[in-house]
Amino acid sequence: MNVRDSEHIVAELTTKKNYCLTNSSREADLIIINTCSVREKPVSKLFSEIGKFNKTKKTDAKIGVCGCTASHLGAEIIKRAPAVNFVLGARNVSKISEIVDKNRAVEVDINHDESEFAFSNFRTSSYKSFINISIGCDKKCSFCIVPNTRGDEISIPLNLILDEVKKSVAMGAKEIFLLGQNVNNYGVRFSNPQLNKSLDFTDLLELVTAIDGVERVRFTSPHPLHMDDRFLEVFAKNPKICKSMHMPLQSGSTKILKSMKRGYSKEWFLNRAKKLRTLVPNVHITTDIIVGFPDETDEDFADTMEIIEKVRFEQIFSFKYSPRPFTTAIEFENVVPEEVASQRLTHLQKTHLNMLEEISALQKDKILKVYFEELRRDGMIAGRDESNFVVVVDGSEELLGKIKKVKIVNPRRVVLEGEIV
Ligand code: 5AD
Ligand code: SF4
């Protein structure tokens, strides 16, 4: 979502304010740092980055801080780092072309409604288009700062989404990547209340895949709670939907899931994952896991490991719990000691690396359909198969933007090497 927000920022500044992109921060007239605040670490990194840019930038170059840390810290950023000219929150991207000319300005209103805002056009990739389908999040998981930085959830009207898809296809994109904090809750609330519940995410998937020229559709992030049977069945049957599903587990313990306010149990998650593997044998299931949440015992962590063994996720993004301001969990007792959380994280990651080696090895000699989108420096070209394996082959530019069948000859842990057949 931050990548897409950055694209919107560039689009607005290049079409409305005469800026152009540069690769060198030393030559820039404006440096924008787009930030995350989900965990503590990126927040502290922000201030060291500001310091670094401030030393090397042109004397009169401006620095702007955007994104979730901007929303969360607001004016405090300028107080702590007076080199910063403006602060623009994650829900205020549309105001970039106004704020850029003001000095010491702060725009972080999380009630600002950007759901009807049609941004100017800029995309980093001409092969794949990120398209927002909603803003904000209503879930209020007890560990998560996002509802506080991105505000309440509002779905973007269907006509705006479909127009963006058509525009992307006309520019040559074969793959559409739908984005939202909670994509499969689409349609629950629009700015215009008459639109509420007129269609859901599954309907949206069918409409997007029906557009001529769309060959692949991906999306992130869905919430396990909203994975009803119809959604999983359409996901399985529709050949244009890539067979890659992110299922953020967070914890395998029903007790911890409850205190995280995730809305599902260990059994529900396992049931959904099992149904998905049955309906779509080649599906890639990825997940997010937090270890060391308050009150997580060895037994709770064992529940998480049990789900990992059972589901055999193709990819896991795992984190140590990081207490965040404005969240209810910050008050929770029974804090897990740092060393225990670290040990659990290491154990989880080691176990998964071994699993990944087995998963990759199973791909040997398979024929995968790969969409090539990235030229690598070593004479290789990379793409993804529909279930999301990264595949590289020897090749040059003429393969970019093409979908080809590839035989896997050397499956490595994160990348599969193959030959075009
Ligand atoms: N501490 C650690 N990880 C977190 N995430 C969100 N909030 C926190 C937190 N306070 C993780 C979740 C989420 C992912 C984007 O970041 O796993 O799914
Ligand atoms: Fe955060 Fe939960 Fe919303 Fe995801 S669903 S953004 S974890 S509050």
pLDDT in tens, 149-174: 999 999 999 999 999 999 999 999 99
Distance from the CA of 159 to the center of ligand 1, in angstroms?
A: 32
Residues of the chain with CATH 3.40.50.12160: 2-107
Residue to probe by mutation, ligand 2, list 72, 144, 188, 223, most atoms within 8 Å of CB: 144
pLDDT in tens, 215-274: 999 999 999 999 999 999 999 999 999 999 999 999 999 999 999 999 999 999 999 999
CATH 3.30.750.210 intervals, the chain? 123-242
d(CA 326, CA 350): 33
Between the CA of 242 and the centroid of ligand 2 the distance, in Å, is: 23
Residue 370 contacts residue 421 (beta carbons within 8 Å) = no
Q: Find residue 63's DSSP bridge partners.
A: 31
Strand order in the sheet with 284-291: 244-246, 284-291, 315-320
Q: Which CATH superfamily is domain 2-107 in?
A: Methylthiotransferase, N-terminal domain (3.40.50.12160)
Nearest alpha carbon, ligand 1 atom 7: 144
Residue 222 Cα to ligand 1 middle (Å)? 15
Quote the ligand 1 centre to 322 CA distance (angstroms). 8
The pTM assigned to this predicted structure is 0.96
Report the sign of the C-alpha dihedral through residues 137, 142, 146, 149, in that order: positive
Give the nearest ligand 1 atom to 288 CA: 17
Instruction: For strands 216-220 and 30-35, give the pairing.
Output: unpaired
- Rounded to whole angstroms, the Cα distance separating 89 from 112 reads 10
In this structure, which residue's CA is closest to atom 9 in ligand 1?
Answer: 322
> What stretches in the chain show pLDDT beneath 70?
none
Give the pLDDT of residue 413: 87
Mutate to test the pocket of ligand 1, among 3, 38, 146, 250 (most ligand atoms within 8 A of CB): 38
Q: Is 1 in the pocket of ligand 2 (CB under 6 A)?
A: no
pLDDT at 196: 84
Ligand nearest to the CA of 182: 2
Pocket test for ligand 2, best of 182, 183, 247, 264 (most atoms within 8 A of CB): 182
Locus of tokens 């075009």: 420
Atom 5 of ligand 2, nearest CA residue: 139
Give backbone dihedrals phi and psi of 142, rounded to 5 degrees, phi first: -70, -15
Q: Which ligand is nearest to the CA of 90?
A: 2
CA–centroid distance, residue 211 to ligand 2 (Å): 30
**CATH superfamily of this structure's domain 367-420:** Nucleic acid-binding proteins (2.40.50.140)
Does the domain spanning 123-242 belong to CATH 3.20.20.100? Answer: no
Residue nearest to atom 1 of ligand 2 (CA): 144
Q: Residue 44's pLDDT is what?
A: 86
> Phi-psi bin for 104: left (phi > 0), alpha (psi -120 to 50), beta?
left
How close is the Cα of 141 to the center of ligand 2, in Å?
Answer: 6
Atom of ligand 2 nearest to the CA of 262: 2
pLDDT reported for residue 378? 85
The answer to whether the Cα torsion of 111, 117, 121, 126 is positive or negative is positive
- pLDDT of the residue at 118: 87
Q: Give the residue range(s) of CATH 2.40.50.140 domains in the chain.
A: 367-420
Q: Which residues belong to CATH 3.30.750.200 in the chain?
A: 243-361
Ligand 2 atom having least distance to the Cα of 137: 3
- Please answer whether residues 244 and 387 qualify as being in contact, where contact means their C-beta atoms are separated by less than 8 angstroms: yes
Tell which atom from ligand 2 comes closest to the C-alpha of 147. Answer: 8
Ligand 1: distance of its center to the CA of 325 in Å?
13
- The class of domain 243-361 in CATH terms is alpha beta
Q: Which ligand is nearest to the CA of 148?
A: 2
Euclidean distance between CA atoms 201 and 405, whole angstroms: 30
The C-alpha angle with vertex 88 and arms to 178 and 111, in degrees rounded to 5, equals: 70
- Which atom of ligand 1 is closest in space to residue 324's alpha carbon? 10
End-to-end CA distance of the chain: 35
Q: What is the pLDDT of residue 365?
A: 97
